[in-house]
């Protein structure tokens, strides 16, 4: 990584920067560094990037100095292994468990390959403006294991190169419902949906972001109509961003029921008006009204009247709409006196006789 430079800051100051005690082990240093470097990474602090860059530099310098000191202490123990083998082996076993920052640190994720390269150095991928003035980037901690024993750091030090043409998997799409009223589906509307997703930044870190998706609902769309946004879902290493598919769902209307391109409306009429004729006002979808006259007709149970062109728009036929179907419900009286019953029987009997 280059020659290290001597720091002008007292070592005690670095412990404060990494928020650890002076008795912290190499594992504690790595763990704290891993947490803080993620927390103050400039890509994750765009609103206060200047402060984040300064913090990021300080954290890197503190880690470089303290980890180097700890490695020197381990090297001393290694040289004394012949004198105190048990003590060295105990320290070696502890450091082996904690091992490298290359394993415990934020993993760099490739946007163009189908695997994670364990050899990618977190620091060499950083932009040049983040490097220390007059000092090289800190190296990752090494495990003080015997030169005769293959270590993870030696294995990972050899770069593994993946072809950028390697295909990436396409994950399963994310399915969501988009509720719309009949009025919105009749007239068309614009829906804005806010999503939160993970994506891989240019530095390789996985970062959460919010995005507003705009959906233009066209007149006449039905329940089940699908709208797809390619690559707007979660992004993971070795995969493309998943697609998001919205499916139209109709909200239940208080008056109208949709049947294909037609609308059905139930109309209640008292028995007297159904037999003697009447004029009624019916609502239309959208708030308008229509007046209908039935002076010369008897409205019987099950009677329907179709009003052309007052249904839902037909998406494939411009300016063409379905029908409004009126289904009449006759309100019968719940009580009749003896005299009223006699009169009804007389009227109906006369009607039957005349036929």
What does the pLDDT average to over 326-332? Answer: 91
Q: What residues have CB less than 8 Å from 41, skipping those under 6 apart?
A: 52, 56, 203, 205
Percent of the chain with pLDDT over 90: 29
pLDDT digit string, tens, across residues 180-192 = 999 999 999 999 9
Q: Which is more confident, 47 or 261?
A: 261
Q: What is the pTM of this model?
A: 0.49
The yes-or-no verdict on residue 23 having pLDDT over 70 is yes
Tokens standing for residue 93 = 């076993």
CB atoms within 10 A of CB 213: 15
What does the pLDDT average to over 56-73? Answer: 86
- Residue 297, SS3? coil
Q: Which residue, among 98, 57, 92, has the nearest Cα to 73 in the 3D structure?
A: 92
Contact 68, 141 (CB under 8 A): no
Tell me which DSSP letter residue 169 carries. Answer: B
Report the range of poorest mean pLDDT among 134-138, 163-167, 226-230.
134-138
What does the pLDDT average to over 267-296? Answer: 90
Report the range of poorest mean pLDDT among 41-55, 209-223, 300-314.
41-55
CB atoms within 10 A of CB 21: 8
The predicted pLDDT at position 268 comes to 92
Kind and range of the H or E run holding 353? helix 338-354
The yes-or-no verdict on residue 232 having pLDDT over 60 is yes
**What average pLDDT does the structure give for the chain?**
76
The yes-or-no verdict on residue 125 having pLDDT over 70 is no
The predicted pLDDT at position 261 comes to 93
The yes-or-no verdict on residue 33 having pLDDT over 60 is yes
Query: Could you give the C-alpha distances from 301 to 276, 328, 343, in angstroms and in order?
Result: 14, 7, 22
Q: How confident is the model at residue 25 (pLDDT cuts 50, 70, 90)?
A: confident
The yes-or-no verdict on residue 271 having pLDDT over 60 is yes
The yes-or-no verdict on residue 123 having pLDDT over 90 is no
The predicted pLDDT at position 1 comes to 41
Contact 92, 144 (CB under 8 A): yes
Calculate Rg over the CA atoms of the chain: 38
The predicted pLDDT at position 29 comes to 86
């Amino acid at each position: 990584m280059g020659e290290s430079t001597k720091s002008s800051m007292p070592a005690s100051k670095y412990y404060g920067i990494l928020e650890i005690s002076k008795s912290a082990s190499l594992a504690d240093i790595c763990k704290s560094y891993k947490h803080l470097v993620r927390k103050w990474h400039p890509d994750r602090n765009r609103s206060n990037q200047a402060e984040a860059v300064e913090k990021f530099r300080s954290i890197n310098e503190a880690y470089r100095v303290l980890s180097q000191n700890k490695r020197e202490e381990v090297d001393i123990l290694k040289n004394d292994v012949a004198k105190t083998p048990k003590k060295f082996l105990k320290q070696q076993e502890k450091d082996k468990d904690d091992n490298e920052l290359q394993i415990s640190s934020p993993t760099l994720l490739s946007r163009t390959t189908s695997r994670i390269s364990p050899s990618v150095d977190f620091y060499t991928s950083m932009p040049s403006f983040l490097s220390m003035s007059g000092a090289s980037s800190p190296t990752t901690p090494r495990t003080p294991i015997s030169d005769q024993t293959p270590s993870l750091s030696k294995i990972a030090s050899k770069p593994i190169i993946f072809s950028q043409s390697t295909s990436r998997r396409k994950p399963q799409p994310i399915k969501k419902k988009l509720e719309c009223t009949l009025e919105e589906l009749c007239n068309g509307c614009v829906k804005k949906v806010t999503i939160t997703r993970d994506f891989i930044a240019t530095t390789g870190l996985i970062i959460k972001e919010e995005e507003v998706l705009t959906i233009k609902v066209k007149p006449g769309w039905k329940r089940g109509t699908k709208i797809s946004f390619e690559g707007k879902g979660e992004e993971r290493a070795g995969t493309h961003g998943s697609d998001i598919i919205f499916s139209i769902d109709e909200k239940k209307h208080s008056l109208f029921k949709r049947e294909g391109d037609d609308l059905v409306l139930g109309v209640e009429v008292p028995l007297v008006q159904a037999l003697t004729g009447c004029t009624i006002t019916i609502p239309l979808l959208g708030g308008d009204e229509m007046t209908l006259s039935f002076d010369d007709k008897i409205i019987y149970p099950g009677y329907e009247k179709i009003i052309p062109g007052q249904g839902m728009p037909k998406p494939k036929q411009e300016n063409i709409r379905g029908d409004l179907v009126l289904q009449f419900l006759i309100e019968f009286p719940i009580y009749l006196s003896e005299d009223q019953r006699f009169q009804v029987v007389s009227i109906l009997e006369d009607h039957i006789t005349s036929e």
